[in-house]
A and B are shown apart, each in its own frame.
Chain A
Amino acid sequence: MPKIPLPKIPDSVVPAPLRKPAKPGQGGTAKQQAPADLKSSPPERPTDVQRLGDKAKDAPADVLAWVDQRTAASGFLTGMLFRKVPKGTNWFYTLGSATLFAFIVQAVTGVFLAMFYVPSATQAYASIAHINNDVFLGAFVHGMHKWGASVMVILVFLHMGRTFFFGAYKYPRELNWVIGVVLLILTMTMAFTGYLLPFDQRSFWASIVGININGTGPVVGPYLSDFLRAGPELGATTLARFYAIHMLLVPGAIIALIGAHMYLVVKLGTTAPPWVRAEKPKVAAPVAQLDAGTGGDGGSPRNGGPAA
């Protein structure tokens, strides 16, 4: 495959200190070629409009430079966005990003649903009907949230399957697998608590069944189902409780853990697929012997290394 060059970043957004100087003989059109005789033909002074235009041209870079000087973000962003990925990286590697995108869709549509939804046992059903029937594009936003929930659960499992079958859970990425499992549980919690919110027949009875399944755990089960219902029967507090868990508690935890998950992905790099053989090191290194001896992961976890 031909090597694809990095995209050219337009000069207008690159802060001046980071801009590459023009090569001699190229560029610098305006200030080139001073006239031989300054007295007979003095250089034209730039008009105010030209100067203003120049300033406007530099404005984006100036703003970025101002921010960058105070945050040093460009180094971090360059390292994160232009990090190397191993050979053989393919479409299966997009499942994690797809899950993240599904979560963002859920978060955004959820915020807009919350503007119309009333978490009260007597009004919840009517408010959902209002969203679906009266609010402009309400059925669309509700549908995005409803179907997006299923999409997210499916993507989570596909992402998990990719990680499992590519062996990407092995050293040194075990902790990221653990975080991912917690995220899976939180996603299922979101799906469970969100199901009750429309408060129609289906969600009411499905939640009763779900809570009762929780209750069948020995010893702690009965207390767990009382905790979920906020009482011995599904009541007014149950809906408020599920709503609070669904839109305040769990989303915060998910956002925090997604941050940790992605930090580790960037920090450790991704694995090559298992069918990509490790390149032979150019210099015989002790690492190669170790590889031959144990078949273990000897390479640097960064930049992929040999397939883990």
Chain B
Amino acid sequence: MADDADKINGAYTAPKQERAKPDPPGYFEGESMTRRRAFTIAAQGLGGLAGAAIVLPAVGFAVAPIFHRGKERWEAVGPVGDFVEDTYRQVVFTETEGIGDAGKTTAYVRRGSELFEEDPASFVAVSNRCVHLGCPVRFVEAAGNFICPCHGGVYDFQGKRIGGPPVRPLDQFQTRIRNGQVEVGPRYSVTSQLEPVRARDPGEFTGGIWEYLYPPRPSTFPPP
């Protein structure tokens, strides 16, 4: 943006006097560029190539985890008989290995209920990670609600949002039965109609156009 200050400091923009330039040294009639220019371009190109050979692997090293999906992990959380359909049982299991207690997460597990048109033989595992910003929610038995301590998010018995800042229902974990034990597996997110979609981070909407604005990540598992 040129202002008055530029005008008085205009030495740099003063019109240059045109004059016939002598041919540069090393110039031969009919050549498209001088040797000096050819060597300059070659040297800069080689330097750029050498730089890229160092920088690109380093960048790839840093961003590779985005495209890496870990091993699917299932963990038994208790015998089938421990879970009922009208309330949740809190279970703690390891979601991320190698970091001790910090890698553990909490889920609330119940048996499928005909009230919600679920298969009575199936199990529902609701993640305790608030979908507002990731604080741990707590199932309050007296109210039958999940309540977040951080910013007052409230979810109903199924995990659907009924109050506060959360943007979608609580995440769930896949479940299966092996040897009479209920096992929980990869995390997945749900839309407001509780349809499973790939796991999203807290704060990200699901369903409709949001599936494109918050695209699924390659590091997550396909929904059941």
**Chain A residues in the interface with B (C-beta under 8 A):** 121-122, 171-172, 199, 204-205, 208-209, 211-213, 215-216, 218-219, 221-223, 225-227, 229-237, 239, 286-287, 290, 294, 296-298
Contacts and interface: CB of A to CB of B under 8 A. Distances in A.
A298 B6 CA distance: 10
Given A121-B98, A233-B103, A236-B98, 13 more contacts: A122-B100, A212-B203, A215-B201, A216-B203, A218-B214, A219-B214, A221-B204, A222-B201, A222-B215, A233-B96, A290-B4, A296-B4, A298-B8
A226 B214 contact: no
A227 B217 contact: no
A237 B8 contact: no
Contacts of B99: 121-122, 235-236, 239
Q: Which of A122, A231, A233 has the most CB of B within 10 A?
A: A233
Nearest to A210: B133
A231 B65 contact: yes
Contact of A227 (B66, B95, B202): B66
B202 A199 contact: no
B192 to A, nearest CB: 17
A234 B95 CA distance: 10
A63 B179 CA distance: 83
Contact of A172 (B5, B62, B100, B220): B5
B96 A234 contact: yes
Contacts of A212: 133-134, 201-203
A209 B70 contact: no
A223 B8 contact: no
A230 B65 contact: yes
Contact of B8 (A209, A239, A287): A287
B38 interface: no
A221 B202 CA distance: 11
6 contacts: A209-B133, A221-B201, A223-B217, A227-B62, A237-B65, A239-B99
B68 interface: yes
Interface string B85-121: 0000000000110111011000000000000000000
Contacts of A121: 98-100, 102-103
Contacts of A237: 65
Given A204-B102, A208-B134, A215-B201, A231 B5 contact: no
Interface in B169-224: 199-204, 213-217, 219-220
A172 B1 CA distance: 12
A227 B203 contact: no
A232 B3 contact: no
Enumerate the 6 nearest inter-chain pairs by beta-carbon distance, A residue then B residue, closest first: A121-B99, A215-B201, A230-B65, A216-B203, A232-B219, A235-B96
A118 B102 CA distance: 16
Nearest to B167: A216
Interface in B1-21: 3-5, 8
Nearest to B98: A236
B134 A221 contact: no
Contacts of A122: 99-100
A237 B62 CA distance: 11
Contacts of A209: 133-135, 150
A157 to B, nearest CB: 24
A294 B6 CA distance: 13
B50 interface: no
B142 interface: no
Contacts of A233: 95-96, 103
B171 to A, nearest CB: 12
B63 interface: yes
Contacts of B201: 211-212, 215-216, 221-222, 225
B219 A231 contact: yes
Contacts of B98: 121, 235-236
Most chain A Cβ neighbours within 10 Å, of B62, B102, B202, B214: B102
Contacts of B217: 222-223, 226, 232
A147 B70 CA distance: 38
Given A199-B102, A227-B63, A235-B99, A219 B215 contact: yes
B76 to A, nearest CB: 20
Given A294-B4, A296-B5, A226 B65 contact: yes
